[in-house]
Amino acid sequence: MATRTQNGTSNRSSSNPSRKSSGGSRSAFSWSEGAGPIIAAAIGGAAIGFAANYGRKALIQGMEASIGDWDEILTAEHREALALFDRLLETDEGQTFKRKMLFMKLCHALDKHSHAEEMVVYPALRGDDNVADADHLESEHGYIKTFIFELDEMGPDSPDWLQKIRDFRELVAEHAKMEEDEVFPKFKKDMTADENAHITSLVNRDGFWMA
């Protein structure tokens, strides 16, 4: 028969997990002694990744900000997109990988550009009683998205893909021309220097997050 002292010792031993032998089961949520450096390295790697991403965004948008005012930045982005279209039009059906890479780059450029216009410029246009222009331009962004969807569905090896790219470029070129020759100059003419600087800062901020 076990004594009271023996029973007490046994109970204390079984209730205290620190007294278990090294061969005992370990909780799924417990960390091994070597986990500390691994966790620290993971956190450090994530921090470096975030810093690198922010550095990349700052570099890209810093280069755009050096171009000038908001309308000059958006015009430069038009030129960049049209240049990507031209590079796509130079490819043939045997260059599907090149087409995919260029198309991906074009989609990102158009997405970044349209976001700044839809979130900053078009709302400001509506606030300046240019509702018709803002609505027309934003509706064309819908057709741009439709082109992207249809091209993605077709695939870069389709025999009709290049003609679709050509039609797409024509739409974007006409859209850009309307903005650069009509809407933007009229809108900017009515701005004060402070309003112009404010819109420029908002376009740059949006471009940073979308870069």
| Structure confidence by residue, pLDDT tens digits, 17-66 | 444 444 455 544 444 555 555 655 556 555 564 454 455 445 554 555 56
Enter the tokens of residue 200.
């420029």
The number of distinct structural domains making up the chain is 1
In a domain? residue 40: no
Enter the tokens of residue 158.
């389709």
Q: Which residues of 48-61 are buried (b: 16+ CB within 10 A; e: fewer)?
A: eeeeeeeeeeeeeb
In a domain? residue 48: no
In a domain? residue 183: yes
> d(Cα 199, Cα 201) in Å, to the nearest integer?
5
In a domain? residue 79: yes
The residues, any chain, with a CB within 8 Å of residue 209's CB and separated by 6 or more, are 57
In percent, the amount of the chain with pLDDT more than 90 equals 64
Asked if 85 and 165 touch (Cβ cutoff 8 Å), the reply is yes
**152-172 tens-digit pLDDT:** 999 999 999 999 999 999 999
In a domain? residue 94: yes
**186-197 tens-digit pLDDT:** 999 989 999 999
In a domain? residue 158: yes
What is the span of the domain harbouring residue 86?
Answer: 55-210
In a domain? residue 32: no
Confidence of residue 208 (pLDDT cuts 50, 70, 90): confident
Torsion over CA: 140, 168, 98, 160 (sign):
positive
In a domain? residue 85: yes
